[in-house]
Amino acid sequence: PCGDCRQRLFEFADDATEVLLIDQSAGSAQRWSLTELLPAGFRLRPS
């Protein structure tokens, strides 16, 4: 996913969310955690 999509996922999904990247033409898939995709993501914390 692009950087903006990664940030949105980071903001609205929980820490256990995994993202699957599937390449149908190559017949391969990769599994990533949100922190692997966006190690320095930003979340607003409720005050």
Residues contacting 34, CB < 8 A, separation 6+: 6, 9, 10, 13, 15, 17, 18, 19, 41
Predicted pLDDT at 47: 60
| Contact by Cβ (8 Å): 5, 38 | no
Tens-digit pLDDT profile for residues 1-47: 888 888 888 888 887 889 999 999 999 999 999 889 888 887 777 66
Rg, the chain, Cα only: 12
Please tell me whether residue 6 adopts helix, strand or coil conformation.
helix
